[in-house]
């Protein structure tokens, strides 16, 4: 089994040294001689952080989008300027007129800052992940994740334009990345709008593997109720997880609760974090 190296290029927190924090996520996966960029952040920090961390963006083999929200797709144009055309894996719903975050009563656009036409103009090979897809042996994109867990409901602030009005957006394009290692599977999460328990349950079903070496990424528990948080922690205990690195949209309260519940497993993921697995 090839070694796995994950380097976090964009995240909400940074250790300083000029590394840019942002409300976004981007993690570089290196394995078997290939480099995959899982999400691209908002665009605020990708190129600066890559330069400071000695990551050559010109050598990326492909981009995988966890979903279409701006904080995961915003760095694509900067990447293409450096890299040129490359394959992009995502669910086609990334162009679904995302709206959200109704702070002042007016929904604002929170989708990609580029269009499908832009992808075509840039000669991007856009590979649709509307079902599980094995990128290569031992690396899988989950595709859409079944919503089964009753308490993992979609938050009301996410909307989508439909006709003249708005409908509640279920963000069905949300997906995760799974990499096999000899010690168990490694799971990279984007925002986990499908729910953390739904996501992990589906991955265990899909792969037939229950040993989870690490779960790293956003868990979207930032607005979770006390009940949802308690239920999530209770159900997380049913999984066999060695390392748990919740970050990005997890939020301080849920991060603290997860740290308290899983002190041995908890790891910090921020800009410049590197995780290696055999």
Per CB under 5 A, residues contacting Fe ion are 69, 71, 191, 249
- Which lies closer to Fe ion via its Cβ, residue 22 or residue 180? 22
- Which lies closer to Fe ion via its Cβ, residue 88 or residue 138? 88
CB of 110 to Fe ion, least distance (A): 8
Q: 62 and 31 in contact (C-beta within 8 Å)?
A: no
CB of 174 to Fe ion, least distance (A): 7
- Which lies closer to Fe ion via its Cβ, residue 71 or residue 180? 71
Q: Which of 195, 244, 187 is nearest to 219 (CA)?
A: 195
Q: 265 and 241 in contact (C-beta within 8 Å)?
A: yes
- Which lies closer to Fe ion via its Cβ, residue 138 or residue 217? 217
In which element (H, E) is residue 189 found? Answer: strand 184-189
- Which lies closer to Fe ion via its Cβ, residue 181 or residue 269? 269
CB of 203 to Fe ion, least distance (A): 19
CB of 190 to Fe ion, least distance (A): 6
CB of 39 to Fe ion, least distance (A): 8
User: CB neighbours of 39 closer than 8 A, spacing ≥ 6?
Assistant: 10, 24, 25, 26, 27, 64, 65, 66, 72, 73, 190
- Which lies closer to Fe ion via its Cβ, residue 169 or residue 180? 169
- Which lies closer to Fe ion via its Cβ, residue 241 or residue 247? 247
CB of 61 to Fe ion, least distance (A): 23
User: CB neighbours of 180 closer than 8 A, spacing ≥ 6?
Assistant: 1, 138, 139, 186, 207, 209
CB of 84 to Fe ion, least distance (A): 26
CA distance 201 to 185: 13
The neighbouring-strand residues paired with 165 are: 162
Residue 110 burial by Cβ neighbours in a 10 Å radius (0-12, 13-18, 19+): middle
Task: Return the residue matching tokens 């899982």.
Answer: 38
In which element (H, E) is residue 5 found? Answer: strand 4-10
Report the number of secondary-structure helices (H) and strands (E) in the chain. 7, 17
């Amino acid at each position: 089994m090839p070694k796995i190296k994950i380097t976090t290029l964009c995240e909400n927190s940074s250790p300083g040294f000029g590394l840019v924090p942002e409300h976004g996520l981007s993690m570089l996966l290196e394995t078997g001689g290939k480099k995959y960029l899982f999400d691209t952040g908002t665009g605020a920090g990708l190129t600066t952080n890559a330069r400071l961390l000695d990551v050559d963006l010109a050598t990326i083999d492909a981009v995988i989008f966890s979903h279409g929200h701006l904080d995961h797709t915003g760095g694509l144009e900067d990447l293409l300027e450096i890299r040129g055309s490359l394959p992009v894996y995502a669910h086609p719903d990334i162009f679904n007129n995302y709206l959200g975050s109704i702070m002042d009563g007016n929904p604002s656009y929170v989708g990609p800052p580029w269009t499908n036409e832009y992808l075509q103009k840039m000669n991007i090979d856009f590979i649709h992940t509307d079902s599980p897809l094995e990128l290569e042996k031992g690396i899988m994109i989950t595709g859409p994740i079944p919503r089964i867990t009753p308490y993992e409901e979609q938050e009301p602030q996410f909307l989508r334009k439909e006709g003249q009005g708005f409908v509640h957006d279920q963000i069905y394009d949300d997906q995760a990345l799974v990499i096999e290692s000899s010690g168990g599977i490694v799971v990279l999460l984007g925002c986990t709008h499908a729910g953390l328990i739904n996501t992990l349950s589906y991955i265990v079903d899909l792969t037939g593997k229950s040993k989870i070496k690490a779960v790293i990424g956003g868990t979207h528990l930032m607005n979770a109720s006390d009940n949802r948080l308690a239920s999530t922690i209770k159900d997380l205990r049913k999984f066999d997880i060695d390392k748990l690195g919740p970050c990005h949209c997890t939020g301080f309260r849920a991060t603290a609760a997860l740290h308290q519940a899983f002190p041995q497993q908890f790891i910090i993921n921020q800009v410049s974090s590197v995780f290696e697995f055999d």
